[in-house]
Amino acid sequence: MTLSGAALSLWSAPLDLPTSLLGELGECISPEETERAEQYRQPLDRDRFVAARGWLRRLLAGQLRCRPDEVRFVTGDGGKPMLVDSDLRFNASRSAGVALYATSWTTNVGVDIEQVREIADIEGFAERFFSPAEQAGLAALPQADRRAASFQCWANKEAYVKGLGTGLTVSLRAFDTWSGDMAHSTLDGWTIHKVDAGFGFAAAVAGTGLQGSVPVPPESLGSLKFDPTTGTIERLSGEALGGSLEE
């Protein structure tokens, strides 16, 4: 079954790949992307960038019905990449060896994924980046839950500003995404959902006009079959593709 236009679809992809697959993905990225990849000093970072851009091109090509190397990007004022001559919206994020993507034909989207890491001073981190309500919510949690909650709060906030397209140029302290369990919150017409991105990661997706509050796990691009001549992506079982949130 080919991809169809769900309200908002979520995708994940592994970035630490066997050489043959990395080579295939590397073949579809643009000269500018190759140049950017070569600026990474560490081979691991370079390969992850190539993989992330390659997967993104495959994903978008499957929805645009073109070849991955034909996908063309333009950068918005705040630095947000968008597609040339298409209504398909997307956003991308990566952390360590995992990438997260959201696509939609109808809503603006933003995503963020973060590997949950050590934070030496969680209170100081919260004071710097979180609103007063978020700081209070965090402080009310048991100590053992605060680190994961900090990363979830960060992911929620970054998904929102990436949806807006401003990125981290705006003050993260100036707005509030706290909602108790942080699974679902709303802000100025945006809905922010926690995304189950697997153990050790916090992730979120933000979209406009989304009503549903059921978080869905992303579909793994690594488990799909890709036809390079048509750009079509299929699942071998023929089931519907893409974890989607209804409008």
Do 71 and 41 touch, CB atoms closer than 8 A? Answer: no
Find the part of the chain contacting ligand COA (CB under 6 A) among 17-25, 133-141, 162-170, 176-184: 162-170
146 is a site residue for ligand COA (CB under 6 A): no
What's the closest the beta carbon of residue 52 comes to ligand COA, in angstroms? 6
Cβ atoms of residues 52 and 58 within 8 Å: no
Q: How many CA atoms lie within 13 A of 20 on its CB side?
A: 0
Query: Does position 23 bind ligand COA by CB under 6 A?
Result: no
Q: How do 219-220 and 8-14 pair as beta strands?
A: parallel
- CB of residue 236 to ligand COA, shortest distance in Å: 28
Candidates 6-14, 57-65, 146-154, 166-174 — which segment interacts with ligand COA by CB under 6 A? 166-174
171 near ligand COA, rule: CB under 6 A? no
Per CB under 6 A, which region of 15-23, 164-172, 182-190, 220-228 contacts ligand COA?
A: 164-172
Rg (CA), the chain: 18
Neighbouring C-beta atoms of residue 45, cutoff 10 Å: 13
57 binds ligand COA (CB under 6 A): no
- Asked if 165 interacts with ligand COA (CB under 6 A), we say yes
Binding residues for ligand COA, total number by CB under 6 A: 18
Q: Does 167 sit near ligand COA (CB under 6 A)?
A: yes
Tally of CB atoms within 10 A around 111? 31
Q: DSSP letters along 91-118, please?
A: EEEEETTEEEEEEESSS-EEEEEEE---
Q: How far apart are CA 1 and CA 239, in angstroms?
A: 7
Shortest distance in whole angstroms from residue 140 CB to ligand COA: 27
Question: Residue 195: which of 94, 112, 93 has the closest Cα?
Answer: 112
Helices and strands (DSSP H and E) totals, the chain: 6, 13
Residues 97-136 touching ligand COA, rule: CB under 6 A, are 110, 112
Of the pair 117, 139, the CB lying nearest ligand COA is at 117
Closer by beta carbon to ligand COA, 2 or else 166: 166
Tell me which residues touch ligand COA (CB under 6 A).
52-53, 78-81, 91-94, 110, 112, 158, 162, 165, 167-169
